[in-house]
Structure 1
Amino acid sequence: MSYDRYVAICRPLQYPVLMRSKICNIMSVAAWFWSAFQALSCYLYVLPLPYCKSNVINHYLCDYPALIQLSCSDNSAFVRSTYFGNFMVLLIPISVILASYIAILLQVLRARSSGSSHKALGTCLSHLCVVGIFYSMAMFTYMTPYTAEKSMINSVFTTIVPAMLNPFIYSLRNRDVLAALRRLCAKCILCK
C-alpha cells in the first residue's frame, strides 16, 4: 500500500506503468515466498527436536518459540538465527514503508495546494497508523526474549487489535464520523 500511495502521489503520470499487475504480482510473491521460507525453516527445525518436558503449551497458538521451550536440547544457535531472520522480515518492509512515506511527505511539502496535500496526508496517515501498530506489536513479540505470558498477550495485540482498529482508523477519514466523534468528546467533557 505504501508503494501504491507513493506512486499515486509522487509519480501520478507513471502510475499505470509502475503499478501494472506484473509488478504487483512480483511484490506479492516475494513477500509470500520470504515469509513462507522463514516459517518453513523454523518448523523444519522444530519438528524433529526431542521433547522431554510437559506436552502442554501455555499459549493460544502452537508457535515455534513455545515448542522450543519444551525441548530438552540446546537451541541457542537456532534462537539467535531466528532473531536475525525476524529482524530481516521486519526491517525490510518497514524500510520500504518509511522510505515511501518520507518521499510522500517531501512531495506534499513541495506542493502548493493545501487541499490536495491535506487529502494526501490524511490518506497516508491512516495507513501509517495501522502499519505502526502492527509492526510495533510484531517487533515486541518476535524481537524480545520469549516468555509464555508476554507471548500470549502480544499474540492478541498482533492478531486482533490491528484488525479491530483498522475500520475505526480508516473511518476517521470520513467527515461525518469525525463530526460525531467531536460531538461525543464534547459531551464527555461537559459531563465531567
Structure 2
Amino acid sequence: MRTQFPARSTCRKQKAMEIQQLMIPHVHQFGMRLTILGVISLVFVVSGCGASVPHSDKPRSAVQVTVTRNGQLLPGAELNLVNDATGEGGGGVLNAESTVELEHVAHGTYQVVVLPPPADPLPPTEGSPSAAAPNILKIPASYRSAKTTPFHLTIPSETSEYTFDIPE
C-alpha cells in the first residue's frame, strides 16, 4: 500500500504556523518591554526629572560691573566672574561705556577677571584703524587670571553696581 504524505505546501504552512506560534510570545514580550520603557521615559520628561538647573535654588541678583584702565574706557574687553569655591561664574563683554550687566548671578564671592577682546584674525589694512584701542591690549597679566587678580566682589552687598580701575 502506498503511504500518503501531505502536499509540500501543506507541510510548509504547518511549519510556518509552528514557528509563528513559538515567536509570538517573544515578539509580544519585546514589544511590552519597549512600551514599558517608553512610559518610564515619558514620566521622567513630564515630571522634569533630570531637567533641573544645578544650584537653581540659590538666591541670585543682577549686577552691573564697570572696568576702566587708568580711567580710560575698555569697550570690547571681556569680564569674567569666577567663584572657585562653588565653581560658578558668569561673564560678558564690556559695552561702549565699559560696563556689563549680568543677570541671575548666584550670591557669593567672585574673582573679577578682565581679558582683552579676541584678536582680529585679519591684520588691519594700511590706513585703517586697529580693531582695539591700545589701552585694551595692555591689560596686565595679573588681571587676566582668577588666581592672581586683585579684583573681587561679593554678591549680595549694599550695591549691585561695581567699578574697578586697572592702574597704569
TM, length-normalised to structure 1? 0.20
* Bigger proportion of residues as strand: 2
* Bigger proportion of residues as helix: 1
Of structures 1 and 2, the larger Rg is shown by 2
